[in-house]
Amino acid sequence: MKISVIGAGYVGLVTGAGLASLGNDVACIDIDEGKVANVNSAKAPFLEEGLDDLLGKVVGARKLTASKDYSSVSHSEVILICVGTPSRSDGSVDLSYVNSAAAAIGKALASSKLDFPVVAVKSTVVPGSTRSLIPVLERESGKKAGKHFGTGMVPEFLREGSAVDDFFKPDRIVIGALDGKSGSVLKKMHSGLPSVPLVETTIETAEMIKYASNSFLATKIGFVNELSRACERMGMNVDEVARGMGLDSRISPHFLRAGPGWGGSCFGKDVKAIVAAQKSIGLRPKILDAVLDSNEEQKKRMALLLEESLGSGLKGRKIAVLGLAFKAGTDDVRDSPAIAIVRELQSRGANAVLFDPAAMPNFKLLFPDAPYAASIEGALEGADACLIVTEWKQFAIPGVKFVRLMKNPTVVDSRRILDPADMKSAGVKYKAVGAGA
Residues that bind ligand NAD (CB under 6 A): 6-12, 29-32, 35, 82-85, 97, 100-101, 123-124, 156, 158, 160, 265-266
Catalytic residue among 28, 82, 231, 266: 266
> Residues of 226-235 as b/e, b for ≥16 C-beta within 10 angstroms?
bbbbebbeee
Q: In the complex with ligand NAD, which residue's Cβ is closer, 9 or 222?
A: 9
Parallel, antiparallel or unpaired: strands 410-413 and 429-432: parallel
In contact, 206 and 125? CB cutoff 8 Å = no
Annotation marks residue 266 as catalytic:
yes
Q: Would you call 62 exposed, middle or buried from its count of C-beta atoms within 10 A (0-12, 13-18, 19+)? A: exposed
Give the residue with the Cβ less far from ligand NAD, 160 or 413: 160
- CA dihedral (271, 211, 254, 422) in degrees, to 10, reads -30
Other CB atoms within a 10 A radius of the CB of residue 132 amount to 14
**CB contact at 8 A, 81 and 98:** yes
Burial class of residue 281 (count of CB atoms within 10 Å of its CB; 0-12, 13-18, 19+):
exposed
| Coil, strand or helix at 80 | strand
Q: In the complex, what is the shortest distance from the CB of residue 330 to ligand NAD, in angstroms, rounded to a whole number?
A: 9
Element (H, E) at 352: strand 351-355
State the number of CA atoms in the 13 A half-sphere of 44 facing the CB: 24
Q: How far is the CB of 373 from ligand NAD (least distance, A)?
A: 27
Q: Which residue number places its CB atom closest to ligand NAD?
A: 9
Least distance from C-beta 237 to ligand NAD, angstroms? Answer: 30
Nearer to ligand NAD, 101 or 310 (CB): 101
CB of 35 to ligand NAD, least distance (A): 5
Q: How far is the CB of 15 from ligand NAD (least distance, A)?
A: 9
* Shortest CB 195 distance to ligand NAD, Å: 22
Rank residues 163 and 353 by Cβ distance to ligand NAD and give the closer one: 163
CA angle, residues 144, 149, 152, in degrees to nearest 5: 115
Q: Are 21 and 63 in contact (CB under 8 A)?
A: yes
Q: How far is the CB of 334 from ligand NAD (least distance, A)?
A: 8
Phi, psi for residue 321 in degrees, rounded to 5: -100, 110
> Residue 25 — φ and ψ, nearest 5°?
-100, 115
Residue among 329 and 434 whose Cβ is closer to ligand NAD: 329
d(CA 246, CA 179): 40
Q: Which amino acid is at 126?
A: V
Q: Which is nearer to ligand NAD, 184 or 201 (CB)?
A: 201
| 149: Cβ contacts below 8 Å, ≥ 6 apart | 109, 112, 116, 117, 118, 119, 137, 141, 143
**CB nearer to ligand NAD: pick between 29 and 385:** 29
Min dist CB 291 to ligand NAD, Å, is: 17
Nearer CB in complex with ligand NAD: 11/350: 11
CA distance 245 to 130: 38
Residues in the chain: 437
Distance CA 211, CA 270 (A): 6
Strand 429-432 with 385-388, pairing: unpaired
Q: Catalytic residues, which ones?
A: 266
